């Protein structure tokens, strides 16, 4: 995947970088994780898989990430959800399967609720809904509520990972796991049991909270948070293919 990204302009001037392969549906929409972008290995593999099969697939960068405009400090789940919905509305006709990695697995639920009848399925990869709640100590929450930005060690790069108070407050306003999540589409959740960032039990909590009865959770015993090995990506693509076949016949 070497093509130059296109840009979708939002009414406030934000320019959202995206790549799209147009083909048959349901359309596949990939939501990256926190501080990630569409150049990641899972996103690239999905796009290449879709391209080779003439399937519609949309990748993009949230504002403040990758090649999109804006500041990461301004990013929130609500802001990024609205960007996703704007892209889907502008670029895609028909039904959609949303694939979310880590934070993208929280965002896919918010997007799915807004898509309504257009939602054909969800695939979560180490989905992390509510991580502002279960992933933070009371001391951390107090500091964030006081307006402080927290800097966490980053196992994937030299720069620390910031958590800004705006993102935290918006996350706390969008908690999902304590109530029924009113989605009825097929859902496939993949989680590594050696995930040191998001406990695999979160996927079980999510499966319980979702109203749908068509849910399968796949635990990868030796899988880490990124689930980006060849075998992990092959598993992801098998799940996407199964849901795509199901969605095309509904």
- Catalytic site residues? 102, 195, 225
Q: How far is CA 140 from CA 57, 67, 78, 202, 233, in A?
A: 38, 31, 22, 20, 34
Give the integer Cα–Cα distance in Å for 73 and 160. Answer: 14
Where b means 16+ CB within 10 Å and e means fewer, 150-172 reads: beeeeeeeeeeeebbbbbbebbe
Continuous H helices in 162-221 = 165-172, 201-209
HSE at residue 71, side-chain half, CA atoms within 13 A, is 6
- How is residue 224 written in tokens? 């880490």
Unique residue bearing structure tokens 């859902």: 187
The torsion of the CA quartet 189, 93, 34, 70, rounded to 10 degrees, works out to: 180
Give the integer Cα–Cα distance in Å for 81 and 31. Answer: 10
């Amino acid at each position: 995947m070497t093509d130059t990204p296109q840009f979708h302009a939002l009414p406030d001037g934000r320019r959202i970088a995206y790549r799209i392969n147009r083909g048959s549906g349901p359309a596949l929409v990939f939501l990256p994780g926190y501080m990630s972008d569409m150049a990641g290995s899972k996103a690239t593999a999905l796009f290449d898989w879709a391209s080779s099969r003439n399937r519609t697939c949309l990748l993009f960068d949230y504002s403040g990430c990758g090649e999109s405009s804006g500041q990461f400090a301004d990013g929130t789940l609500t802001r990024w959800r609205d960007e996703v919905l704007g892209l889907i509305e502008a670029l895609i006709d028909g039904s959609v399967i949303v694939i979310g990695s880590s934070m993208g697995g929280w965002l896919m639920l918010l997007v799915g609720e807004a898509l309504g009848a257009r939602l054909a399925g969800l695939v979560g990869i180490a989905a992390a809904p509510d991580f502002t709640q279960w992933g933070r100590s009371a001391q951390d929450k107090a500091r964030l509520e006081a307006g402080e930005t927290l800097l966490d060690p980053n196992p994937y790069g030299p720069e620390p990972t910031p958590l800004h108070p705006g993102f935290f407050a918006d996350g706390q306003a969008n908690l999902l796991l304590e109530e029924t999540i009113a989605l009825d589409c097929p859902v496939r959740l993949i989680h590594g049991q050696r995930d040191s960032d998001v406990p695999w039990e979160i996927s079980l909590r999510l499966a319980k909270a979702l109203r749908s009865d068509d849910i399968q959770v796949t635990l990868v015993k030796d899988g880490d948070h990124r689930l980006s090995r060849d075998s992990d990506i092959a598993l992801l693509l098998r799940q996407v293919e199964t849901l795509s076949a199901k969605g095309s016949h509904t």
